[in-house]
Structure 1
């Protein structure tokens, strides 16, 4: 008997948990919330409280440009691992990752563009 694909919600929860774990393990920082949502061949990922303590210190000391540069470098450094994690979970190649962060709100977002829509079933 063939097993059915996971639900969209199961894949989104697994992605959220694994991305939070990636931040915890790689940056020793725990975002308060990670939300992932699949839209056809795209995945939106939003992290709450994603700004690390060193970035916060830079902002508090008037070094917003340096803090933004640090954020860009961190995102670039994490991209290969994030791409691999997404591909492992959804079973579809990631063809592009687009990221941005707002230091004043502590939120960051990534959009993963997939080669095709992942095999998931809708909750019934």
Structure 2
């Protein structure tokens, strides 16, 4: 996918949807919400309710350390797929992925550092506003 043919919002929505689908197919569940923001050569991803049932059971039984280890192992196994998905959607290589989760809240955050800053198509409304402002300047 070429990021220059889509707006930032379109890419962020596509990425969010694809990440939810990846969680569903790989882990058998999906986060309740996935938010993606692309800026300055980085993609920030926040997932709500991303903790697996296994992790929840471990936390509830007082085995937080084991739950953290399971989360770390899942991240290591999952990050190559996430990296490829980001590269596919945005069209730019990912050079680093930083991930952390909070088992108590079920939230997970990921920062993907891109090899370059994506270029986006400007939304129609923004172009129209700028065109209108330029026309007023020439009057």
Given the two structures, how large is their TM-score scaled by the length of structure 2? Answer: 0.85
Residue 21 (1) aligns with residue 21 (2): yes
- Specify which structure has the higher proportion of helix: 2
Native 8 Å contact 1:90 1:119 kept in 2: no
How many residues matched? 121
1:43-58 to structure 2, matched below 5 A, reads 43-58=43-58
1:121 offset after TM fit, Å? Answer: 2.5
1:83-98 to structure 2, matched below 5 A, reads 83-98=83-98
- Which structure has the bigger radius of gyration? 2
Native 8 Å contact 1:31 1:47 kept in 2: yes
1:5 offset after TM fit, Å? Answer: 1.6
Native 8 Å contact 1:97 1:110 kept in 2: yes
CA–CA distance in structure 1, aligned partners of residues 38 and 122 of structure 2: 11
The equivalent residue for 2:103 is 103
Native 8 Å contact 1:92 1:116 kept in 2: yes
Moved over 3 A (4+): none
CA–CA distance in structure 2, aligned partners of residues 56 and 29 of structure 1: 13
Q: CA RMSD in A?
A: 0.9
Cα displacement string for residues 50-97 of structure 1 (whole angstroms, at most 9, x for unaligned residues): 001000000000000000110010011011110000000100000000
Structure 1: 5+ residue runs without aligned partners? none
The equivalent residue for 1:113 is 113
